Amino acid sequence: MLSRESLDDLNRRMDGPLPMNRFRPNIVLSGLGPYGEDAVTRLRGAAEIELVKPCGRCVIINTDQETAERSPAPLRALAGYRTGRFDGAREIVFGRLGIPRALGTLRVGDELTAS
């Protein structure tokens, strides 16, 4: 799960914008502000999702999915301000990992409650 505002903030730090699909989120939120998803533990709507930990990022985000060109710029930019210790390891984090707790169908444009 990733918020539109977090990607917008990252893109302001980059020489050129990255598309959302570069980070492969299953859910894209808006309205939380940059990195507002860091404080969310649950999403409720037609389904309920528990957000359990920050999403550690690997080198795959350095590959442009359209051209297969690679650049270290995305990870370098995130490493400058989104690095921390999680589960005993140093990681570059961007977004959150979630586990469904109540099944349902979510659709583009659905409103969810974040807590």
pLDDT in tens, 57-98: 999 999 999 999 999 999 999 999 999 887 788 999 999 999
CA distances in angstroms from 69 to 22, 29, 62, 66, 72, listed in the order given = 12, 28, 8, 8, 10
27 and 98 Cβ atoms separated by less than 8 Å: yes
Q: How far apart are CA 97 and CA 24, in angstroms?
A: 11
- Residue 89 is predicted with a pLDDT of 83
pLDDT in tens, 22-55: 999 999 999 999 999 999 999 999 999 999 999 9
Pairing of strands 48-56, 83-86: unpaired
Query: In sequence order, what are the beta bridge partners of 86?
Result: 89
